[in-house]
Amino acid sequence: MFKKILIALSDSPESQEILTAGLTLAGKFDAEVLLLHVINPMSPTGFSPLVGGMFPIVNDVAIEQYAKEWHEYEQRGSDQLQTYATQAKDRGIKVEVSQNFGNSGSMICEVAKNWSADAIVMGRNQKSMLSEMFLGSTSNYVLHHAPCSVMVIELPASN
């Protein structure tokens, strides 16, 4: 039934729960998995090229620092994917990893389509109604646009 399962992972500590669910599903169906981490430029990452508070200044130092922090952020994501891939290999599951840059929801659907995934396993954070109205929901987008089945793991409310 499921031969190719895309597991969409984020930076959250709850990603381990999503991974475990996805690997359990893959084990039951003897499926291969693709571990996907999407770097969304619209997500708050804690760094900005703007320096100076009320009157921000963009200068070479700020831009260099911004680029350095983005590189470190990408590297952390890549390292985490490799750690997760090791867990899949330890279970005897064939695994690939991919870290992409873009809008999380559309990127998950695009990768699932291009990889010919039979299922997507992902998490859902409980956002407030107002937050979801303005920011949207990645899981809601994927549920409505995915080219395959979607399994959504309910996660604790984010603060």
Domain assignment present for residue 113? The answer is: yes
Quick check: is 59 in a domain? no
d(CA 108, CA 143): 11
Would you state the pLDDT for residue 135?
Answer: 45
Among 14, 45, 22, which residue's Cα sits nearest to residue 112? Answer: 22
141 falls within a domain: yes
- Residue at 19: amino acid letter: L
- Stretches in the chain below the pLDDT threshold 70: 41-59, 125-136, 156-159
d(CA 54, CA 2): 53
Domain membership flag for residue 75: no
Label residue 52 left, alpha or beta by phi (over 0 means left) and psi (-120 to 50 means alpha): left
CA–CA dist 50, 47 (Å, integer): 9
Q: What is the pLDDT of residues 8-48, one digit of tens each?
A: 998 888 899 999 999 999 999 999 999 999 987 665 555 55
Q: How far apart are CA 146 and CA 150, in angstroms?
A: 7
Cβ-proximal residues to 105 (8 Å cutoff; 6+ apart), any chain: 136, 138, 140, 141, 142, 145
The reply to whether 16 falls in a domain is yes
CATH number, domain of 103, equals 3.40.50.620
Provide DSSP, 53-101: TTS-B--HHHHHHHHHHHHHHHHHHHHHHHHHHHHHHHTT--EEEEEEE
Side-chain-side CA neighbours of residue 140 (13 Å): 9
- The pTM assigned to this predicted structure is 0.83
Q: Is residue 73 part of a domain?
A: no
Domain containing residue 91: 4-44+81-154
62 within domain boundaries: no
Does some domain include residue 52? no
